[in-house]
Homo-oligomer: A and B are copies of this chain.
Amino acid sequence: MANSEVWLESLITATPQEGRALAIMMARKTIGAIQTDPEKRKQMRPEYADDTVQLTSSAQVVAIEFQTIAQANNYWKNEK
């Protein structure tokens, strides 16, 4: 927990769409926390984005992260 970079200050976002962006960011940050070598992550990226199986699997992670974010924001029911 002595990670110097603070990237997740809050789960609250202004709009649902910003919540989606946060969900994608959270999924990516997990990958970065497990595979810490940025060069390797770069090499992996094409492999990752060109494979439909992996794209769907990533979409599932994003869906779960978004569920948490949507609950935190009370589904943006009070937004205009």
Residues of A within 8 A of B (CB): 1, 3, 6-12, 15-18, 20-21, 24, 26-27, 29-31, 33-36, 40, 44, 47-68, 70-72, 75-77, 79
Give every chain B residue within 8 A of A68 (Cβ-Cβ).
63, 66-67, 70, 75
Interface centre among A21, A27, A63, A72 (most CB of B within 10 A): A63
Given A20-B29, A33-B24, A66-B65, residue A52 in contact with residue B53 (CB < 8 A):
no
Q: In the complex, which of the residues B8, B49, B57 contacts A17, with contact meaning CB atoms closer than 8 Å? A: B8
Copies in the complex: 6
Q: Are A70 and B72 in contact (CB under 8 A)?
A: yes
Q: In the complex, which of the residues B12, B54, B70 contacts A52, with contact meaning CB atoms closer than 8 Å? A: B54
